[in-house]
């Protein structure tokens, strides 16, 4: 089993040593836990794919702690990238840019672009700094399964396969970063995430949204992804729990008593009356709530829709993928 260590200075230095030697460390970011390895070590990156059982056509995000590091990774950093970095880094935004020769092909799945992100979580930042190398890190879950927002989630799925898990508590944003492709014009949002598209458009103008396609440019676009083992269905219009069906409810707001009686287990994602605050709470709680529902021995999970603005886009994207409808 992996060692689960508190995020002390000493343990972060040990973790950095593991990364430098080509090992794998799971660590907290503000979005979800990442499974990190030295981005310039192709063997370490190959192990990331193996451990996650991830198809090698699905490229991995490279994490940096200092804007200067981007020069080693990318051959073109245009004005829009600079503006976005200035406004949203460090934070939950990943930019896809033309890659430099130095980035190993295995990181980018042979693409001519590399995805770069500067996380804001202090533990992630220190780990990158101490490792003295950019860290390639997908979410620390098995491919296609629920993303991890606590060290326990990581341990459950990957504990037996990796060297170390740094426990930094639960991830404050709770959904993955927004991925934006700046190698095309207009820029394209490949995955909605922790940085709302509306805020991005406010600084660089119109972006396009790539929706599901058979040949995903970002495999975050694969239809079935972020899935619990229990079947999940989004509630559209009237819903009835089947007779004798053990059903769970993923509710955006606290349900009334009559609704609540139909379910074995209910997870309420938000409590605020302010929509933006409610969406922030819902994003933060989403994966933990899904993990709990998935462990409750239910036949089915019904999920309420949330308004598709701001963080609501990322939430609905994850729910549709959990449902398998992309
Ligand atoms: O918040 C996050 O982004 C987390 C934390 C750990 O940083 N990471 C994460 O990584 O969600 P992952 O591997 O689960 O998702 C990365 C997404 C995938 O959909 C991948 O296809 C896309 O980014 N991606 C990576 N490199 C790309 C590239 N060169 N072009 C297009 N999409 C790319
Ligand atoms: Mg992932």
Whole-number average pLDDT of the chain: 94
CA–CA separation, 325 and 294 (whole Å): 19
The answer to whether the CB of 24 falls within 8 A of the CB of 48 is yes
Measured from the CA of 94, which atom of ligand 1 is nearest? 3
From the list 117, 129, 120, the residue with the least C-alpha distance to 179 is 117
CB atoms within 10 A of CB 210: 17
Model confidence at 214, in pLDDT bands (50, 70, 90)?
A: very low
What pLDDT does residue 220 have?
57
Measured from the Cα of 217, ligand 1's closest atom is 31
The proportion of the chain whose per-residue pLDDT surpasses 90, expressed as a percent, equals 89
CA of 142 to the centre of ligand 2 (A): 8
State whether residue 74 is helix, strand or coil: strand
Distance of CA 241 from the midpoint of ligand 2 (Å) = 31
- How far CA 43 is from CA of 49, 60, 91, 140, 308, in Å, comes to 10, 14, 28, 18, 40
Q: How many whole angstroms separate alpha carbon 241 and alpha carbon 213?
A: 32
- Please report the pLDDT score of residue 243 as a whole number: 84
What tokens does 117 get? 């992100």
Distance 239 CA to ligand 1 centre (A): 34
Residue closest via CA to ligand 1's atom 33 equals 218
Report the CATH superfamily, name and number, of domain 3-209.
DHBP synthase (3.90.870.10)
- H or E element: which one contains 202? helix 197-204
Return the residue whose CA atom lies nearest to atom 17 of ligand 1. 220
Q: Tell me the mean pLDDT in the region 112-126.
A: 98
Nearest CA to ligand 1 atom 19: 220
- Its CATH class, for the domain covering 232-323, is alpha beta
Dihedral sign of CA atoms 30, 154, 151, 13 in order = negative
Give the three-class secondary structure for 214. Answer: coil
SS (H, E, C) 275-310: HHHHHHHHHHHHHHHHHHHHCCCCCEEEECCCCCCC
Q: Are 61 and 180 in contact (CB under 8 A)?
A: no
Q: Is 60 in the pocket of ligand 1 (CB under 6 A)?
A: yes
pLDDT tens column, 163-199: 899 999 999 999 999 999 999 999 999 999 999 999 9
Residues 138 and 50: their CA atoms lie apart, in Å, by 12
Provide the pLDDT confidence category of residue 217 given band limits of 50, 70 and 90: low
The tokens for 39 are 């981005």
Does the beta carbon of 223 sit less than 6 angstroms from any atom of ligand 1? no
Percent of the chain beyond pLDDT 70? 95
Quote the strand ranges of 28-163, DSSP E: 34-38, 61-63, 93-98, 113-117, 135-136
**The tokens of 81 are what?**
């990238």
> Where are the chain's structural domains?
3-209, 232-323
Alpha carbon distance 135, 154 (integer Å): 18
Calculate helix-pair angle for 197-204, 79-88, nearest 10 degrees: 130
Task: Say if strands 164-167 and 93-98 run parallel, antiparallel, or are unpaired.
Answer: unpaired
229 burial (CB, 10 Å; 0-12 / 13-18 / 19+) is exposed
* Ligand 1 closest atom vs CA 216: 21
Residue 176 Cβ < 6 Å to ligand 1: yes
Mean pLDDT confidence for 224-247: 87
- Residue found under tokens 């092909």: 105
Rounded to a whole number, what is the distance in angstroms from the first to the last CA of the chain? 34
């Amino acid at each position: 089993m992996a060692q689960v260590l508190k995020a002390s200075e000493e343990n972060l230095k040990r973790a950095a040593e593991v990364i430098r030697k080509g090992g794998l460390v799971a660590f907290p970011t503000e979005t979800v836990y990442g499974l990190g390895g030295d981005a310039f070590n192709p063997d370490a990156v190959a192990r990331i794919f193996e451990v996650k059982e991830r198809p090698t056509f699905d490229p991995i995000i490279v994490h940096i702690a200092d804007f200067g590091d981007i020069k080693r990774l990318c051959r073109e950093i245009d004005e829009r990238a600079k503006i976005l970095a200035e406004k949203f880094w460090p934070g939950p935004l990943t930019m896809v840019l033309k890659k430099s020769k130095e980035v190993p092909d295995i990181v980018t799945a042979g693409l001519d672009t590399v995805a770069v992100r500067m996380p804001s979580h202090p533990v992630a930042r220190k780990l990158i700094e101490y490792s003295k190398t950019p860290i390639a890190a997908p979410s620390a879950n098995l491919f296609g399964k629920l993303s991890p927002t606590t060290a326990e989630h990581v341990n459950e799925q990957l504990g037996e396969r990796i060297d170390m898990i740094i426990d930094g508590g639960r991830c404050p944003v709770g959904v993955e970063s927004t991925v934006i492709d700046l190698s095309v014009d207009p820029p394209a949002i490949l995955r909605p995430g922790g940085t709302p598209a509306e805020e991005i458009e406010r600084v660089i103008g119109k972006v396009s949204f790539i929706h599901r396609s058979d040949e995903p440019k970002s495999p975050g676009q694969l239809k079935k992804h972020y899935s619990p083992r229990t079947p999940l269905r989004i509630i559209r219009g009237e819903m009835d729990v089947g007779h004798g069906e053990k059903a769970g409810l993923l509710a955006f707001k606290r349900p009334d008593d009559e609704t609540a009686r139909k379910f074995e287990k209910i997870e309420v994602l938000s409590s605020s009356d302010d929509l933006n605050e409610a969406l922030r709470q819902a994003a933060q709680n989403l994966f933990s709530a899904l993990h709990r529902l998935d462990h409750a021995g239910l036949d089915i999970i019904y999920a309420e829709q949330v308004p598709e603005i701001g963080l609501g886009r990322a939430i609905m994207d994850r729910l549709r993928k959990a449902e398998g409808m992309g």
